[in-house]
Amino acid sequence: MINDARIQVFEAHQADRGISLEEVKRRLKQLKIETPSWGYGDSGTRFQVFKKAGVPRTTFEKMEDAAQVHRFTGLSPSVAIHIPWDKVDDYSRLREHTESLGIKIGAVNPNLFQDDDYMLGSITHTDQAIRRKATAHLRECVAIAREVGSDIVSLWLADGTNYPGQADIRKRKRWMEEALRETYRELDQGMRLLIEYKFFEPAFYHTDLADWGMAFNLATKLGPQAEVLVDTGHHPQGTNVEHLVAYLLDEERLGGFHFNGRKYADDDLIVGTTNPYEIFLIFYQIVAALREEENAGARRTAERIAYMIDQSHNIEPKIPAMIRSVLNVQTLYAKALLINWKELEEAQVDLDVLRAEAAVREAFEQDVEPLLHMVREERGLPPEPMKAFLESGYVEKIQDRGVGGASW
């Protein structure tokens, strides 16, 4: 529990460290983490989809669950949708319903991987008719984004091959570029196309959009409204994700994140459960860029990063899993905001390796619970969101939905 004495100790300690808590709190209050509609439905591995009681039966009900996450955390005012998983007859009704819950629709995610036609590729398929069909779906998603009031289309492409020689890699590259150019042309001003990469799965020999370099190159070719989306589970083991984040930030092409935790591959577990230091170090790079942008009063890349959760809650209760996830992100962001920049910069100038490393690590070691309680209190939110949600009676209330809700 947090009491006044613990808060006073925290404030005094941060004052000693030379940290301006007002600035830290201001930034913390701006943090928004989108949750995905698919995170509320039934999901599973390729071995089994577990059916849970109380799972939303429709996209409308998914929005109701997502609204709970925002209600108790104040962190998740928007929800990503996936087409066709969230296909509805009337998108303006979905928009109205969502907005009546105090949240809004965020990124629109096209699905180019669940149609038999796409077994050997979608926008990279050898058959022109299939490429046309896939491109039409991408364009449709831009139109849906317009209709639901979203400014982000977020594309992950499952295209790839399983065997050497299976297809012409360079032709596929050109077809992919062609389809994305056509999609890009559909964007309204102010809309963004986020390009997500992943080095394997479902294809295991080559993936057409395999890494951040390819996504960056494509985004650069397309134009300023195209940016890279970094999913924390989409890199080979050992990749220095915070480095590529810093690189993309500096090139002004970092569009967004899919947060999740991983130990082996694209595990899609709760963010920060196995790799909290990595997430913290990603935020270290982002806060550095934010500070630079603010001082220069010019570039605005870091400020408008679209943070999203992309996880598959197979064994966890859905809403608490989502609450845990956004709280973990908030905690790690809070820690990064406690870096003593003066100390760090001095150590770097003095070429003092150990002091510089310590300046970063010491922020990670701070106990930010008092800080988070203060911020929640100031915003009129429950100081312990998970506890408040579990005591709210919502879980009991949705049991009448029964078993067999929506799943992909």
Decide: helix, strand or coil at residue 199: coil
Give the total of residues touching ligand AOS (CB under 6 A). Answer: 10
Please identify which residue in 10, 38, 91, 199 interacts with ligand AOS, judged by CB under 6 A: 38
Q: How far apart are CA 248 and CA 218, in angstroms?
A: 13
Does position 231 interact with ligand AOS (CB under 6 A)? The reply is: yes
Q: Which residue sits closest to ligand AOS, CB atoms considered?
A: 156
Nearer to ligand AOS, 159 or 266 (CB): 266
Q: How far apart are CA 321 and CA 393, in angstroms?
A: 17
Does position 159 interact with ligand AOS (CB under 6 A)? The reply is: no
Please identify which residue in 34, 227, 231, 242 interacts with Zn ion, judged by CB under 5 A: 231
Give the ranges where 240-275 is alpha helix by DSSP (H).
241-250
Q: Which does 109 bind (CB under 5 to 8 A by kind): Zn ion, ligand AOS, none?
A: ligand AOS
User: Which phi-psi region, left, alpha or beta, contains residue 54 (left: φ > 0; alpha: ψ -120 to 50)?
Assistant: left
Residue 408 burial by Cβ neighbours in a 10 Å radius (0-12, 13-18, 19+): middle
Q: How far is the CB of 269 from Zn ion (least distance, A)?
A: 9
- CB atoms inside a 10 Å sphere around CB 48: 8
Q: How far is the CB of 258 from Zn ion (least distance, A)?
A: 3
User: What is the DSSP secondary structure assignment for residue 51, as one 8-state letter?
Assistant: P
Please identify which residue in 36, 54, 233, 382 interacts with Zn ion, judged by CB under 5 A: 233
Q: How far is the CB of 64 from Zn ion (least distance, A)?
A: 24
Please identify which residue in 196, 242, 343, 384 interacts with ligand AOS, judged by CB under 6 A: 196
Please identify which residue in 25, 235, 258, 318 interacts with ligand AOS, judged by CB under 6 A: 258
For the chain, counts of helices (H) and of strands (E):
15, 10
Nearer to Zn ion, 306 or 344 (CB): 306
281 touches 331 (CB < 8 A): no
Does position 266 interact with ligand AOS (CB under 6 A)? The reply is: yes
b/e per residue, 153-186, with b = 16+ CB within 10 A?
bbbbbbbbbeeeeebeeeebbebbbebbeebbeb
117 touches 145 (CB < 8 A): no
Q: How far apart are CA 75 and CA 78, in angstroms?
A: 9
Q: Which does 65 bind (CB under 5 to 8 A by kind): ligand AOS, Zn ion, none?
A: none
Nearer to ligand AOS, 82 or 125 (CB): 82
Q: How far is the CB of 212 from ligand AOS (least distance, A)?
A: 14
* Six-digit token string for 10: 């925290």
Does position 137 interact with ligand AOS (CB under 6 A)? The reply is: no
Please identify which residue in 34, 42, 86, 310 interacts with Zn ion, judged by CB under 5 A: 310
| Residues in region 95-124 near ligand AOS by CB under 6 A | 109
Nearer to ligand AOS, 156 or 175 (CB): 156
The Cβ-side half-sphere exposure at 76, using a 13 Å CA radius, reads 32
Sign of CA dihedral 360, 362, 364, 369: negative
Q: How far is the CB of 194 from Zn ion (least distance, A)?
A: 10
Query: Measured in Å, how far apart are the chain's first and last C-alpha atoms?
Result: 40
Q: How far is the CB of 141 from ligand AOS (least distance, A)?
A: 12
User: What is the DSSP secondary structure assignment for residue 109, as one 8-state letter?
Assistant: E
Decide: helix, strand or coil at residue 275: coil
Q: Which stretch binds Zn ion (CB under 5 A): 265-273, 282-290, 322-330, 340-348?
A: 265-273
Does position 258 interact with Zn ion (CB under 5 A)? The reply is: yes
Q: How far apart are CA 232 and CA 257, in angstroms?
A: 7
Q: How far is the CB of 162 from ligand AOS (least distance, A)?
A: 17
| Residues in region 293-312 near ligand AOS by CB under 6 A | 310
Nearer to Zn ion, 197 or 389 (CB): 197
Chain positions contacting Zn ion, by CB under 5 A: 231, 233, 258, 260, 266, 268, 310
Chain positions contacting ligand AOS, by CB under 6 A: 38, 82, 109, 156, 196, 198, 231, 258, 266, 310
